[in-house]
Amino acid sequence: MIFSKEFTSAILIIGNEILSGRTVDKNTSFIAKWLGDLGISVEEVKIIPDKEDVIIASLNELRKKYQYVFTTGGIGPTHDDITSESVAKTFGKKYEYNKEAYAILEKYYANSEFNEGRKKMAKMPEGATLIYNVQGSAPAFFLENVFVLPGIPSYVELMLPQLKEVLIGGKKIISVSCDAKVRESSIAVELSIIQDKYPDIDIGSYPYSKEGGFGTILVMRSVDEDRANKCKKEIETMLSKFVQK
Amino acid sequence: MIFSKEFTSAILIIGNEILSGRTVDKNTSFIAKWLGDLGISVEEVKIIPDKEDVIIASLNELRKKYQYVFTTGGIGPTHDDITSESVAKTFGKKYEYNKEAYAILEKYYANSEFNEGRKKMAKMPEGATLIYNVQGSAPAFFLENVFVLPGIPSYVELMLPQLKEVLIGGKKIISVSCDAKVRESSIAVELSIIQDKYPDIDIGSYPYSKEGGFGTILVMRSVDEDRANKCKKEIETMLSKFVQK
């Protein structure tokens, strides 16, 4: 691992719709990039169904293993939204109306019916801190090191920036890349030699095919921008000796 | 769980590029839908980095817990492709050239250089069974209940159909859906009553917003098509009483 263990996280995606293949998860990519900018690496992502015992077991595993855990999904108004109650059980906290969340929702639904489903979104573990939805609707929350976010990507994108002051990150993870216009199998050996010279740089090799031709995107990730760029230069020098084979 | 425990699986996505957020994982959705058609449910997805100890620990956990495990990523020619060797270590098998895979690759690269990187793609755990790439390039493989697939989605789509005769599934998981043109918070209570009446049907509720309006897609999943349709009818009757609030 090239990054300090201290600034680690896991993402727990909760939702049958992802597991069944109906929905492609887009939250992981957004959250991981956003955390990377804060110097927090994502070490593991788990996608699980809306099942209480699985949610509790997963949370207990991940919250001990990593500095932060981010969950998405399951905090809406319907019967299959069981994340908040499961988080309460995980921490052995009461699952009750959060007064501030209740007031927000009561106001939001002032001109329509504030029914049971809508009230349910104000129920959270005792002691939860709200993460606001700037559009005025249901807030998310965090408790200790577990951040409970909605499943809808646009809401996640609205809410995450509020956590910037709460989270403690390390050095920003820099990512530089270049397009090797050759097959990765042509340069595998040479790339491996460079990786050995730069054990502090995480070099990724991602093949692509475009209009019948093959190429490879090389990505150098590090907390040290100078080193990443030095490594990139060395890779470019190596690449200049290759033509598509 | 509404499906037999017998026909379960997990997907293990191996790759730093997914964890860093650089790449959105599309394999989970494709594999899960394909398995659903065979009557095999995906119970868990784990996304992990290209780290040998993490790969081995994850494989050992998942292969004991589920009937099948599908991995994607890390079987290419470069230094960061360590999945095949990690699978060999997981099973305590030799990591060696697979003769058939070697012959395939030798032929595929007949008109260019059959270098170390390319030869590496023929190295597999002893006793592996090949999964062919119909385009003639590097095959994937399986060993016992672990199916080791490439990371590139188009290759996964080419290879999976070959496993149809190998995998043992249950009844096909049927999914029917309807578009409730109301907010899910409007119908949460009524939906919950119907879910209680149909404990054998997995009713999912997925809110959306479109052109300023809100709606909800309701998905009914079951191995019993008649029951799913009966449930759908009841939901539609319930919905007919609602207008957008």
Residue A214 sits in a domain whose CATH number is 3.30.70.600
**Exposure of A70 in the CB half-sphere (CA atoms within 13 A):** 28
Mean pLDDT of the B218-243 span = 92
Cross-chain residue pair A19–B45, CB shorter than 8 Å: yes
Residue A42 and residue A150 share a domain: yes
Q: Is residue A244 part of a domain?
A: no
Where residue B2 falls among pLDDT bands split at 50, 70, 90? Answer: very low
Residue B94: partners with Cβ closer than 8 Å, 6 or more residues away = B88, B125, B126
pLDDT (0 to 100) of residue B1: 41
DSSP string, B133-150: -TTSS--EEEETTEEEE-
In a shared domain, residues B161 and B205: no
Residue A245 in domain: no
Across chain A, mean pLDDT equals 93
Indicate which of A14, A24, A58, A78 best probes the interface with B, i.e. most B CBs within 10 Å of its own CB: A78
Confidence (pLDDT) at B211: 76
CA atoms within 13 A on the CB side of A36: 20
Question: A221 with A119, same domain?
Answer: no
Is the model's pLDDT at B208 over the cut of 60?
Answer: yes
**Same domain, yes or no, for A215 and A152?**
no
**Region B48-67 average pLDDT:** 97
The reply to whether B105 and B186 lie within a common domain is no
* Strands B68-72 vs B8-14: parallel, antiparallel or unpaired: parallel
Whether residue B160 is found in the same domain as residue B223 = no
Please report which residue ranges of A43-179 form alpha helices under DSSP H: 52-65, 83-91, 99-108, 116-120, 153-159
* Cα A170 from Cα B9, distance rounded (Å): 36
**Domain range spanning residue A214?**
174-239
Binary contact (A17, B219; C-beta < 8 A):
yes
Centre a 10 Å sphere on the Cβ of residue B114 and count the other Cβ atoms it contains.
16
Q: What is the pLDDT of residue B213?
A: 80
**Least confidently predicted of A64-73, A141-150, B132-141:** B132-141
Q: Strand B129-131 vs strand B213-222: parallel, antiparallel, or unpaired?
A: unpaired
Residue numbers in A near B112 (CB within 8 A): 245
How large is the average pLDDT for residues A77-83?
A: 94
Contacts of B117 in chain A (CB under 8 A): 184-189
* Binary contact (A43, B23; C-beta < 8 A): no
Strands (E), B83-173: 95-97, 123-125, 129-131, 140-143, 146-149
Q: What is the pLDDT of residues A152-182, one digit of tens each?
A: 999 999 999 999 999 999 888 889 999 999 9
**Mean pLDDT of the B213-231 span:** 92
Question: For residue A214, what pLDDT is reported?
Answer: 85
3-state secondary structure at position B99: helix
Q: What's the whole-number mean pLDDT along residues A210-229?
A: 89
B111 to chain A: closest CA residue = A245
- Mean pLDDT value across residues A199-216: 88
Angle between helices A52-65 and A83-91 (to 10 degrees): 60
Contact A47 B51 (CB under 8 A): no
Of the residues B119, B145, B165, the one at which a domain ends: B165
State how far the Cα of B199 lies from the Cα of B220, in Å rounded to an integer. 11
Q: Pick from A170, A166, A174: which is nearest to A201 by CA?
A: A174
Residues of B in contact with A42 (CB under 8 A): 19-21
Contact yes or no for B142/B166 (Cβ under 8 A) = yes
Do residues A28 and A107 both lie within one domain? yes
Angle at B100 between CA B98 and CA B101, to 5 degrees: 65
The domain boundary, picked from A117, A136, A165, lies at A165
Mean pLDDT, chain B, as a whole number? 93
- We report the CATH number of the domain holding residue B90 as 3.40.980.10
Beta carbons of B19 and A44 less than 8 Å apart? yes
Domain membership flag for residue B244: no
Average pLDDT in the A36-54 region? 96
Token pair belonging to B60: 């050992």
By C-alpha distance, the chain B residue nearest A51 is B1
Say if residue B29 is in the same domain as residue B47.
Answer: yes
Shared-domain flag, residues B202 and B103: no
Q: Letter for the amino acid at B89?
A: K
Burial class from Cβ neighbours inside 10 Å (0-12, 13-18, 19+) for residue A82 reads middle
Asked if the structure places residue B245 within a domain, the reply is no
What local confidence, expressed as pLDDT, does residue B242 receive?
Answer: 82
> Which value, in Å, is the radius of gyration of the alpha carbons in chain B?
22
d(CA B54, CA B122): 23
Single residue among B165, B187, B214 that ends a domain in this structure: B165
Number of structural domains found in chain A: 2
Euclidean distance between CA atoms A86 and A148, whole angstroms: 11
- pTM listed for this prediction: 0.93
Query: Taking CB atoms and an 8 Å limit, are A80 and B204 in contact across chains?
Result: yes
Indicate the range of A17-31, A70-84, A209-223 predicted with least confidence: A209-223
Nearest CA of chain B to the CA of A22: how many Å? Answer: 7
C-alpha distance from residue A35 to each of A25, A44, A170, A212, A235 (Å): 17, 13, 10, 36, 27
Residues in A closer than 8 angstroms to B205, CB to CB, are 76, 78-81
Same domain, A194 and A152: no
Q: A77 lies in a domain?
A: yes
Give me the pLDDT at residue B39, please: 92
| B113 occurs within a structural domain | yes
Are B119 and B149 found together in one domain?
Answer: yes
Q: A146 φ, ψ to 5°?
A: -110, 120
Q: Is residue B195 part of a domain?
A: yes
Residues A178 and A144 in one domain: no
The residue assigned the tokens 């292969």 is B63
Quick check: is A91 in a domain? yes
